[in-house]
Amino acid sequence: MGSRSWFLKWFMRRMLAGWNRLMIRWSTVSEVKTLNAKLIYHRKIDLAHPKKLNEKILWLEYNTDASLRSRLTDKYEVRAYVTEKGYGECLVPLYGIYDSPDKVDLESLPEQFVLKATHGCDMNYICRKKEAMNIRDLRRRMKLWMKTNMAYVSLEMHYLSIPPRILCEKYIDSGEKNLTDYKVHCCDGKARFLLVCSYGQGKRYLDVFDRKWNHLPVVVGAEQNPERPKRPEQLEGMCRMAEKLAEGIPFVRIDLYTVKNRVYFGEMTFTPATGILFHFTDAFLMEEGKYCKIVPTN
């Protein structure tokens, strides 16, 4: 994405955040989220009687303690949790953590690296060659990251208490421009299905598989890979790892990557696709909702 398009996208997101801040002065967060789901994604969300997976995810977001979600969403703090669970070797090596863009010494960083904001999503910068890096543009992006609170952009309120910081990791070279992303969706500590994000011909594809790698035709509003992603050799190990990280959690998505037969941890996400899961059919969300156990108050 070009620099102008990137900043335009974030300008619109900040406008949405302003709208949401205004709306929740007169209504509850859950009511505004329900309205946004209808207006933006044309999805009906029933949080009074949650049955579908997205409804239960959002019910959890607005009706249960957010402290664990906040800690494990933080891209820096989650590293300690992954290590505690016995998967420290799956963490991408860390170069530094900064509380201000001005403290990121770009000159001292290696030729290739990745910068991420610890407190949001879609806030990252991949440097594959420093001589091609637009330093002014990168500084502007980092400053925008630090001024943006994702809680109000998408009403994912567990982001509210995450301190804004910038993390720098090693660039993991797979020999391809983009890594295939295996997003393991877990309900009550069990891997239910995988959303696979793959790339080709300048496009991003979305495919869904069950744990046995059976392809599920449940994607809407996105292209599926015409070549069908191959079953990763580490599939069982990835699912076991995801389940270990998801222990005791009603719902969480664990993002993993594989490079040269090695599994790397990406992040833990509690409200994927802003909690609406708009890329899945309603029938699929209704079926998967059966496996997410919650205790509604009414």
pLDDT in tens, 166-206: 999 999 987 777 789 999 999 999 999 999 999 887 889 99
Question: Tokens 């309900």 — which residue?
Answer: 187
| pLDDT for the residue 213 | 97
Alpha carbons 139 and 94: distance in angstroms, whole number: 20
Residue 298 clears pLDDT 70, i.e. is over it: no
Domain ranges of the chain: 1-28+93-171, 43-91+174-298
| pLDDT for the residue 111 | 94
Mean pLDDT for the stretch of residues 226-232: 93
Residue 297 clears pLDDT 60, i.e. is over it: no
pLDDT bin (cut points 50, 70, 90) of residue 41 is very high
Buried b (16+ CB within 10 A) or exposed e, 90-102: bebeebeebeebe
Q: Which CATH class is domain 43-91+174-298?
A: alpha beta
Mean pLDDT for the stretch of residues 139-146: 93
pLDDT bin (cut points 50, 70, 90) of residue 34 is very high
| pLDDT for the residue 1 | 58
| pLDDT for the residue 272 | 96
Alpha carbons 38 and 35: distance in angstroms, whole number: 5
| pLDDT for the residue 23 | 94
- Phi–psi pair at 60, nearest 5 degrees: -60, -40
Residue 86 clears pLDDT 80, i.e. is over it: yes
The token pair that represents 53 in the structure block? 């997976």
Mean pLDDT for the stretch of residues 241-251: 97
Residues with Cβ < 8 Å from 25, sequence gap 6 or more? none
